[in-house]
Amino acid sequence: MIRIEFDISKSGIVAAQEVQNKINQIVNELPSSAEVPVVSKMDPDAGSVLQIAVSANRSTRDVTLIADKLIKRKLENCQGVGQVQIQGGATARSTLW
């Protein structure tokens, strides 16, 4: 993930288009195994309020299962929570457990 911050005076629409144009210029130079980059605008007021690191003396797969099936699901059900994302861990979460 690459995060780009612009001066407040820069239009978000123009900035996103400029970044997309630059990505389009180099996309053919990326390795064939690379996914096509996605440019998206973020609302700085919608940033993370809480970040939790989960670790254990277990396999990455087990820790990912705990984070996904237990912790994430409990947090998603808390009042006022808009979104819970897991970063890192085992990549094939949908096939786990």
Per-residue pLDDT reduced to its tens digit, 61-92:
999 999 999 999 999 999 888 889 888 888 65
Which residues, including other chains, have CB under 8 Å from residue 31's CB and lie 6 or more apart? Answer: none
Residues 35 and 3 in one domain: yes
Cα–chain center distance at 2: 10
pLDDT tens sequence across 3-46: 888 888 988 889 999 999 999 999 999 998 988 898 888 776 77
Query: Alpha-carbon distance 84 to 72, whole Å?
Result: 6
Are 59 and 97 contained in the same domain?
Answer: yes
Total domain count, the chain: 2
With 70 as the cut, is the pLDDT of residue 53 above it? yes
Mark whether 97 and 54 lie in a shared domain. Answer: yes
> Would you state the structure tokens that stand for residue 48, as one six-digit string?
């993370």
Output the pTM of the full model.
0.47
Residues 32 and 74 in one domain: no
Q: What integer pLDDT is reported at residue 23 of this predicted model?
A: 94
Same domain, 55 and 97: yes
Instruction: Determine the pLDDT at residue 28.
Output: 92
